[in-house]
Structure 1
Amino acid sequence: MFLHAGALADGAVDSIQADFDKLKPSAYKDGAFRYRKYSKVRLDDGAVSLLPSEAFVQTGDINRFQGDVARTYDDLSGELLNSQGFQSICAEFATVCKLPAQSTMEVHQMRIIAQAGTDSVEAAPEGIHQDGFDFVGVFTIARHNHTGGELLVWRSQHDDSPLTRLNLIAGEFCIVNDKSLWHSASSLSAINGDDVGYWDLFVLTASSS
């Protein structure tokens, strides 16, 4: 088992919060409640660079919600890639996972939306799942006007209760071994009915080789 929870240095997310305001709704089944970008990046002795764009595909046995679909998203912005905050996220992820100095990781930049005046929205519509990598990291950048959105980590998809429930605030993260643990997230509901609620986060995935 491998689970690591921690926090970035104070102020690390300040330079990247505004970038989430530029996200567009997904063109796929999650578009009603997820705005997102996706890229593969290369980490080379601490330097982060963008790799050529590729569609993101998960098999149906991994993603029961929208598996076996080649999904194409906008790449992460150059401004974000060059920001100290994003570079610190990639460095923290690589350090905790003990990735090689030259390694590849996949990055999902997401805003999960809880619309005012509507019922709760699923943060993880695929349910309790693994993503098919060695490591998965969830980094919270901001939360606004919502309840829920807890990260849930399970020993097995068949367990009745999660191993842990984490309500990660801005700058906090959790990294799990995707081979031995399962994860999900609780649904979101807007608090103030006159305002949208949202959870801004990065999901990073990588394999050791």
Structure 2
Amino acid sequence: MPGQDSVLIEESIPGRLRADHFAQHGWAHGRLSVPTEGSDWEQFASAWDELVPDPYLGEERCRRNRRFGRVLAHRDGALEPLRGSDFFQSKEINRAFGGRLRVFEPLTDAVLTGPCLPRLLRETVAVVNEAAGKQDWELGIHFIRVIADPGESSEPAPEGRHSDGHAYVAIHLIDRHQCAGGRNQLFRNNESRAQFSVVMTEPLETLIVSDTTMEHSVSEIRPEAGTGSGWRDTMIVDFNRVPVPEEVTGRTYGFIR
């Protein structure tokens, strides 16, 4: 196991996402096994074209479209969509946007019931459960497109280096379109040197992070030279422990197949 002050070398070709690496280091980098070709994937990825402008950016140097949804992932593998698309972080957790309730446009029913999202969620939950122990999770699912216009750059994470106030966070790359930048870095809490650094380029290239022991950042994106606007599409999944599923708000008692 590398020392806590070492920097792990960037992986150019991501392999399988490994739960043992996640359990040992507090993070893992790899790819999910969901196919990223064919009509099912194309329909899923096209959902990022239907995102709406984030109304909470204010003066931040970021142009971002998004939607948000919630799912209760039961320990038996069932996925239950939850009503409500409100999202709150404290000011201590998110210095840029914390301290206020944000309500985003919800994920569409077509996305929730389509073939790709349930499989993505189940594979991600399986990795976390293998490392952390099988349990019930409330998942916060963020579809995000960060856009950089010609001559400008855009910050995917205006809050800078941060943790998000969850147990675990999974960052899935969906697509990149004629953009440069977007380097993810992972840090142990209170340490200055990055443990890992990568520019994710492959669809479903993924980082899973222990949000209680690690912090993460992502650098600005900018359009590639000689192109128009560029963008970077990601799906971020927040994991929050659920001691009592009956007390989770917004339960629908319906299940995604």
TM > 0.5:
yes
- Which of these residues, 4, 7, 14, is aligned with residue 31 of structure 2? 7
* Structure having the larger proportion of residues in helix: 2
The range that moved more, 15-24 or 31-40, is 31-40
Quote the residue 1:164 is aligned against. Answer: 196
Q: How much does 1:201 deviate?
A: 0.6
Secondary structure of the 2:102 match is coil
Quote the residue 1:27 is aligned against. Answer: 55
Quote the residue 2:158 is aligned against. Answer: 125
Q: How much does 1:101 deviate?
A: 5.8
> Which structure 2 residues correspond to residues 174-185 of structure 1 after superposition, within 5 A?
174-185=207-218
| Amino acid in the other structure paired with 2:239 | A
- Over residues 137-159 of structure 1, what are the superposed CA-to-partner deviations in whole Å (9 max), with x where a residue is unaligned? 00011100111112111113540
Normalising by structure 1, we get a TM-score of 0.91
Quote the residue 1:114 is aligned against. Answer: 148
Q: How much does 1:194 deviate?
A: 4.1
* Residue 80 (1) aligns with residue 111 (2): yes
Distance 2:80 2:42 in 1: 21
The range that moved more, 196-205 or 5-14, is 5-14
Quote the residue 2:223 is aligned against. Answer: 190
| Amino acid in the other structure paired with 1:163 | Q
- Over residues 102-154 of structure 1, what are the superposed CA-to-partner deviations in whole Å (9 max), with x where a residue is unaligned? 43211111001111222x21111111111111100000111001111121111
The range that moved more, 54-63 or 137-146, is 54-63
Distance 1:88 1:175 in 2: 16
Distance 1:41 1:104 in 2: 6
Distance 2:170 2:81 in 1: 19
What RMSD over aligned residues (CA atoms) do the two structures have, in Å? 1.9
| Amino acid in the other structure paired with 2:54 | S
| Amino acid in the other structure paired with 1:136 | V
- Which of these residues, 40, 46, 64, is aligned with residue 70 of structure 2? 40
Quote the residue 1:205 is aligned against. Answer: 238
Quote the residue 2:100 is aligned against. Answer: 69
Secondary structure of the 1:27 match is coil
Secondary structure of the 1:203 match is strand
Secondary structure of the 2:101 match is coil
The range that moved more, 178-187 or 53-62, is 53-62
Higher Cα radius of gyration: 2
- Over residues 153-208 of structure 1, what are the superposed CA-to-partner deviations in whole Å (9 max), with x where a residue is unaligned? 1113540x311112222121110101111101011011145411111111111133
Secondary structure of the 2:52 match is coil
Alpha-carbon spacing, 1:101–1:132, altered in 2? closer, same or farther (3 Å): closer
Contact 1:15 1:84 in 2 (8 A): no
Q: How much does 1:14 deviate?
A: 3.5
Secondary structure of the 2:99 match is coil
